[in-house]
Amino acid sequence: MKFSFKSVALIGKHKSLEVAAPLLRLAKFLADRGLNVLVDNLTAEHLPVHPYPVMNLDEMAAVADLAIVIGGDGTMLNIARVFSVHHVPLIGVNQGRLGFLTDLTVENMLEIVAAMLCGEFVVERRLLLSARVLRDEVEVFGGLAFNEVVVHRSQISSMVEFEVRIDGEYLYNQRADGLIIATPTGSTAYAMSAGGSILHPGLDVLELVPVCPHTLSNRPIVVNGSSVLEILMHRTGDIRVRLDSHTSFDMQPHDKIIVSRHPDYACLLHPVGHSYYHTLREKLLWNQAF
């Protein structure tokens, strides 16, 4: 896979004052190398005066050859959903906490970005999810998820009751606080907290993880990434479907959620030598001696 980088979009963590200095340092670094630098309009609100064009995310995604995100995994999730449908590769600079998706640091970003601009990088494609809500067979909501699609109840409502089908075949009826449908990327997020397995991001699979199921025999299950999942709501109360913590929709009884693999992928660029297992050891503290 070959890339030609001419225009680079820079996006910082939302409402972060600390992002200004490293972002402008990176912008000058890129501009000095003859690249066209574009700055996200929300990020620009927290920057001093600068000479770079300001655009919203959709405008940048339509013209950029590369996006560099300075922030945490939450920032990267939001940006990936916009840029992936335009096939724009992403580089993440970690300024958050865990940083599963943002593997550069503010300290080493200039050195590593310089190497990556010269073609020294590893390309990784990450699966995305498409979710649609049908009400009386009419689509009333739709969106894209990088980590997960979650059906969940509010703190005051009773358990949600739903039916799950995979490729049209009945799997189970369930009473629970909710259900997580996670990509391999999302397996280290909410799904892991709810007892799901960690999935290597290179796998073409989806994971269904019940949230506090009424019946303890309802366990997480991993299915083929090409599967079409249907969740039919029998009892809802105050229930929502949520995509990556960024988008949500209020459900009604008999609504149907259809989740499937999105035709596009998120394209992440990593430094040479990147290892997912090293990331797990570092972020989950598996390398600590006892």
Strand-pair category, 90-94 with 229-235? unpaired
Phi-psi region of 188 (alpha: psi -120 to 50; beta: other; left: phi over 0): alpha
Q: Is 136 a catalytic residue?
A: no
Lookup result for tokens 């073609």: 119
- The CA distances from residue 52 to 7, 38, 66, 81, 91, in Å, are 11, 6, 16, 24, 19
Per residue, the 3-state secondary structure of 233-276, as one string, reads EEECCCEEEEECCCEEEECCCCCEEEEEEEEEEEEEEEECCCCH
How many other C-beta atoms are found inside a 10 Å radius of the C-beta of residue 235?
Answer: 14
Question: Active site residue: 40, 73, 103, 177, which one?
Answer: 73
- Return the exposure string of 25-57: e unless at least 16 CB atoms fall within 10 Å of the residue's CB, then b: ebbebbeeeebbbbbbeebbebbeebebebbeb
CA–CA gap between residue 73 and residue 93 (Å, rounded): 10
> Which residue numbers are catalytic?
73
